[in-house]
Amino acid sequence: MQLVPRAYQLAIYNSIMQNGNTLVVLPTGLGKTLIALMLIQDKMKEGRCLFLTPTKPLAKQHFLSVMKTLELSEKNVALVSGEVAPAKRKAMYETDIIISTPQTIRNDLENSVLLPNFSLVIFDECHRAVGDYAYTYVSEKLHEHSNGKTLFVGLTASPGGRHDRIKEVMGALRIENVEIRDHTDPDVSPYVQKSVVSWIPVELSDHFKDIRKELVTLTSKYAERLAGMGFPPPLKHKGKFMALRQRILDIPHNIKYPALIQYSILLHLLHMTELLETQGVYPLRGYLEKLGEKESKSAKILLQEPGLNKVKRLCEKDEDHPKMKVLIDVLKKLSGKKIIVFVQYRAQISRIETVIRENGISAKQFVGKKDGVTKKMQEETIANFREGKFDVMVASSIGEEGLDIPAVDVVIFYEPVPSEIRSIQRRGRAARLKEGQVIVLMTQGTRDEYYYYASNNREKKMKKILTGMQKAKGNLGFKPANSDSRKESNVGGDIVVKPVEAKKKTKNQQTKMSDFIS
């Protein structure tokens, strides 16, 4: 079968073949996989190809795509997982194309089950290649074995909004070349489906405000104590607050231990406040119950606070977050459409699914493998959703990355997320084949607002950084691999994939429900 790419896919393919190891940044739905298939079709003539992806459902999806699109059989393509016995895996590794998760490949490299000789490695969702994630080990071993001759290609919709993170990903994958496109680029815009991004302001109830008042009072008390020890806590910046712990640990002084206790108490209080503001009483109640079971000194001190006891009493009243009513109203007006509701906290997902069903709307949750959820159950949920057996999927973060659910009409954020990576991936679930909507529920005057604008700003910064890197080809600090295999391709034409175009909103704009619900 002849692969027929769009102009931008062909341009990216040619850039990879000319410049070697490459980071490819394309919004979800713009056909990153087709570029990978073009490379596999070309490089499998030189040696084995390895296609890595973070999860087993994604690996299976790519396995079926490779076989169907390249018209190959299981003699040529192997889907390898840790569930297969090592002896059998060793035989499967003799095939032309191997599709697997990085954890399985790392284990088999460490145990000499797999020889590290490949002509091409595709790192799907390559923004994960930081820290000790398995991508970093795999790239190191394969790079060493081939003396840099193996072609590494990283695919992602969003490598991150910080320069140091992007450089870490590129360094881990020995990447010099960057190719980035978005919906505004002239070679991409003809294929983009319109997606209107709107947000709905929600106000906390008086009951929730009373609970928050108690939590804020306690937070101020312990923030002052920690500041008095020389560690003023940056309460409004989650990332900086989390980094404060290491600063305390690095102090060669006895004060570090009492400071860590104060820090831990603050961490509990900030998390409780976030649960209340963005999710509601039910998740907060669950967190308080778990806190009561802890043996840590910070938990014991906090549990003795009269203010926390008042919070517990207030949480005894059953009341959903005001977002819940707004969500149900939106879903009813969107009747008949296929919708994904993304929810940050697993504890809230079950509650939302229950309330949606109680209102006569067919819904099912999609979460990770925990608490009795199996891979088979996940696959059945996706299949049933794709086939229209229910209308609303209430999903955790597992639904954000790469899964092929092409006919989603609307994506709803139950809460904004501060990560530009996750925000981009959530939006990318909508408007892949037709016009779509993205709706964000945002509680006014809370962390919801901060997270919403933080992710927007980081996304803009990411685009600026990557565009600069793309223009500075050859000066990024890594030698391009496969420089002796430069070639041009003669393929051209069109394919059938259409992604999101995000409509920009100003900070002061608010959208009424009637503005975006047809």
- What local confidence, expressed as pLDDT, does residue 463 receive? 79
Assigned token pair, 219: 């937070």
Q: Are residues 414 and 299 in the same domain?
A: no
In degrees and rounded to multiples of 5, residue 190 shows phi and psi of: -60, -20
- Using 50, 70 and 90 to split pLDDT, how confident is the model at 284? very high
Instruction: Kindly report the CATH number assigned to the domain that includes residue 211.
Output: 1.20.1320.20
- What local confidence, expressed as pLDDT, does residue 489 receive? 34
Q: How many helices (H) and strands (E) does the chain have?
A: 19, 14
Q: Are residues 70 and 197 in the same domain?
A: no
Q: Are residues 24 and 140 in the same domain?
A: yes
> What's the DSSP call for residue 51?
E
Examine residue 474 and state whether it is found in any structural domain, yes or no: yes
| Dist. CA 11–CA 13, nearest whole Å | 5
**CB of 260 closer than 8 Å to CB of 245:** yes
Examine residue 491 and state whether it is found in any structural domain, yes or no: no
Q: Are residues 281 and 135 in the same domain?
A: no
Q: Are residues 240 and 339 in the same domain?
A: no
| Mean per-residue pLDDT, 206-232 | 96
Name the residue among 257, 136, 183 with its Cα closest to residue 428. Answer: 183
Strands 392-395 and 363-366: parallel
Cβ atoms < 10 Å from Cβ of 510: 12
Q: Of 265, 293, 314, which residue is a domain's last?
A: 314
First to last CA, the chain: 41
Examine residue 495 and state whether it is found in any structural domain, yes or no: no
| Mean per-residue pLDDT, 512-518 | 26
Number of domains in the chain: 3
Q: Are residues 342 and 447 in the same domain?
A: yes
Residues found in the chain: 518
Q: Which 3 state secondary structure label does DSSP give 158?
A: coil
Q: Are residues 273 and 404 in the same domain?
A: no
pLDDT: which is higher, 329 or 188: 329
Examine residue 303 and state whether it is found in any structural domain, yes or no: yes
Whether the per-residue pLDDT at 302 is higher than 60: the answer is: yes
pLDDT: which is higher, 303 or 517: 303
**CB of 455 closer than 8 Å to CB of 419:** yes
Whether the per-residue pLDDT at 47 is higher than 70: the answer is: yes
Q: Of 269, 298, 314, which residue is a domain's last?
A: 314
Of the listed ranges 75-79, 138-142, 351-355, 501-505, the one predicted with least confidence = 501-505
| Dist. CA 386–CA 407, nearest whole Å | 7
Whether the per-residue pLDDT at 448 is higher than 80: the answer is: yes
- Using 50, 70 and 90 to split pLDDT, how confident is the model at 473? low
* DSSP E strand stretches across 226-329: none
**CB of 80 closer than 8 Å to CB of 98:** yes
Examine residue 339 and state whether it is found in any structural domain, yes or no: yes
pLDDT, tens digit (0-9, with 9 covering 90-100), for 57-106: 889 889 999 999 999 998 999 999 988 898 899 999 999 999 999 999 99
Examine residue 252 and state whether it is found in any structural domain, yes or no: yes
| Mean per-residue pLDDT, 472-496 | 38
Examine residue 1 and state whether it is found in any structural domain, yes or no: no
| Dist. CA 277–CA 428, nearest whole Å | 26
| Dist. CA 130–CA 439, nearest whole Å | 31
Q: Which 3 state secondary structure label does DSSP give 99?
A: strand
Name the residue among 493, 506, 513 with its Cα closest to residue 38. Answer: 493
**CB of 17 closer than 8 Å to CB of 483:** no
Q: Are residues 45 and 176 in the same domain?
A: yes
Of the listed ranges 324-333, 346-355, 453-462, the one predicted with least confidence = 453-462
Whether the per-residue pLDDT at 514 is higher than 50: the answer is: no
Q: Are residues 53 and 129 in the same domain?
A: yes
pLDDT, tens digit (0-9, with 9 covering 90-100), for 107-145: 999 999 999 999 999 999 999 999 999 999 999 999 999
Whether the per-residue pLDDT at 472 is higher than 80: the answer is: no
**CB of 288 closer than 8 Å to CB of 211:** no
- Using 50, 70 and 90 to split pLDDT, how confident is the model at 402? low
Q: Are residues 273 and 352 in the same domain?
A: no
**CB of 180 closer than 8 Å to CB of 467:** yes
pLDDT, tens digit (0-9, with 9 covering 90-100), for 334-348: 998 999 999 988 889
> What's the DSSP call for residue 246?
H
- What local confidence, expressed as pLDDT, does residue 316 receive? 94
Examine residue 2 and state whether it is found in any structural domain, yes or no: no
| Dist. CA 206–CA 186, nearest whole Å | 50
The CA-atom distances, in angstroms, between 280 and each of 209, 265, 289, 306, 339 are 11, 21, 15, 21, 22
| Dist. CA 17–CA 19, nearest whole Å | 6
Instruction: Kindly report the CATH number assigned to the domain that includes residue 162.
Output: 3.40.50.300
- What local confidence, expressed as pLDDT, does residue 134 receive? 96
Beta-bridge mates of residue 153? 22, 122
- Using 50, 70 and 90 to split pLDDT, how confident is the model at 498? very low
Assigned token pair, 442: 């945002």
Percent of the chain with pLDDT over 90: 59
Domain span at 510: 193-203+320-456+500-516
- What local confidence, expressed as pLDDT, does residue 492 receive? 30
> Packing angle between helix 206-228 and helix 306-314, nearest 10 degrees?
160
Q: Are residues 444 and 465 in the same domain?
A: no
Whether the per-residue pLDDT at 429 is higher than 80: the answer is: no
| Mean per-residue pLDDT, 161-185 | 89
Average model confidence (pLDDT) across the chain:
85
The CA angle 358-363-366, to the nearest 5 degrees, is 130
Whether the per-residue pLDDT at 26 is higher than 80: the answer is: yes
Q: Are residues 253 and 390 in the same domain?
A: no
Q: Of 269, 295, 314, which residue is a domain's last?
A: 314
Beta-bridge mates of residue 410? 339, 437
- What local confidence, expressed as pLDDT, does residue 403 receive? 61
% helix, strand, coil for the chain, step of 5 = 50, 15, 40
In degrees and rounded to multiples of 5, residue 186 shows phi and psi of: -60, -30
